[in-house]
Amino acid sequence: MRQSDTRPESTEQFFVGLAAVATMIRERDGLSQREVARRAGVGRPLISKVERARANPTAMCLDKLAKGLGLAGVAELVTLADESASRLTASIVRPST
């Protein structure tokens, strides 16, 4: 069983949003996973897992990731991830007419 299969749906949606945001920022800035990992002070495999929504990072890890992506801190990263998750959910779940 995948780790993400055991998460509550809202948590899974957050991690999907986090994956989308982390990947988008990294690619927008022309950075490799290795460079983000170096800037964040974490291993490249963790960046890969985050971008595939397979990681369950701690608050400290999220803070490091935010800094590695050039964001102000964990609060900004979490806000972006929540917004991304909401947009992704809204695009999948359409209200019935």
pLDDT digits (tens, 9 = 90+) for 24-59: 999 999 999 999 999 999 999 999 999 999 999 999
pLDDT band at 95 (very low <50, low <70, confident <90, very high): low
Burial of 39 (0-12, 13-18, 19+ CB in 10 A): middle
User: Is residue 19 a contact partner of residue 51, using CB atoms and an 8 Å limit?
Assistant: yes
Q: Does domain 9-86 have CATH number 1.10.260.40?
A: yes
pTM of the model: 0.82
Instruction: Name residue 20's amino acid.
Output: A
Give the pLDDT mean for 62-83: 96
Share of the chain above pLDDT 90, in %: 74
pLDDT at 93: 60
CA distance 87 to 97: 19
- Span between the terminal Cα atoms of the chain, in Å: 37
